[in-house]
Structure 1
Amino acid sequence: MNINFWLNGVNRHAEISPDTLLIDFLRKQGCFSVKRGCETANCGLCTVLMDGRPVLSCSTLAARIEGKKIVTLEGMQREAQEFGSFLANEGAEQCGFCNPGFIMNVFAMLNEIKDPTEEQIKEYLAGNLCRCSGFVSQTRSILKFLKYKKAQEEA
């Protein structure tokens, strides 16, 4: 089956098997930020953006991206690096394995909710599993990042 899609801003065409999972397809395209975790759609490690909304690539067929815009961490390096510094400064990236899916969900949340409360942040990120921390430092890094972005907009 032939699919046409956008991957990180580039129009692409590919031949796939109808049962190909999106995670496997994206990794074959060189998107190694998309990681396997639980393979049961419970940990958020495989999160990518499809038309701006987060999807779990481990439970999505690649055929579903026909005509869609897919963004992985590779497609948003500048934004991820900027936010990643806040994660690092708060000690929130201990092993870093969950960071790509976590960062994808943070940016999806910010596209949807311009000024989220701490409760909304916790609710939105509930599908991300981090085995190293209790999300206190991640939440703190998001709040500081939001404050920084707001100050930039006001300047």
Structure 2
Amino acid sequence: MLDALASVDLRLVEDVLDEPHAYAGRERWEELLVEEVLPRLPVHVRTEARRRIEAALELEKVTARVVHGDLGGENVHWSPGGDLVGVLDWDLAQVFDPAVDAACLAWHGWDAVRSAVDGETYRRARVWAGTFAIEQVSSALVNGEPPHVVDRYVESTVRRLERAQH
């Protein structure tokens, strides 16, 4: 699946795809994470959240490819024999770093991701995956969710960041 996405001729699709980080602020991604999300997090997890954001910002640019952006379990369908039969929910498709899709596939386990991609893509996928929980808060803000919903995302993000610290 990742190879198929990487082989898409961008000239055929780039005018119908969204911008990178569309669900979490588009070109304002960094600004929203740093200025809007970090202050909502308790002090004891801010350093870890900032570290994850900075690690993503420090990634060197790679050749952009078609990225689905949401290859979670509910969007990837397999036959009983293990063949890929469908990929749904293309609203987050973008031209960006293909390691984002590798990170999305971590629900299969990081060992599976490691066996599916080269070492550099794996390293980048780990960095992008580190931003996912933080981006959920940004997404809630971008979508104008009510404060109690934003608070739920903050709580969930805090739990994930705390687990990473232990």
Q: Calculate the TM-score normalised by the size of structure 2.
A: 0.27
Q: Identify the structure with bigger relative contact order (alpha carbons < 8 Å, sequence gap 6+).
A: 2
Considering fraction of residues, name the structure with more strand.
1
Q: Calculate the TM-score normalised by the size of structure 1.
A: 0.28
Considering fraction of residues, name the structure with more helix.
2
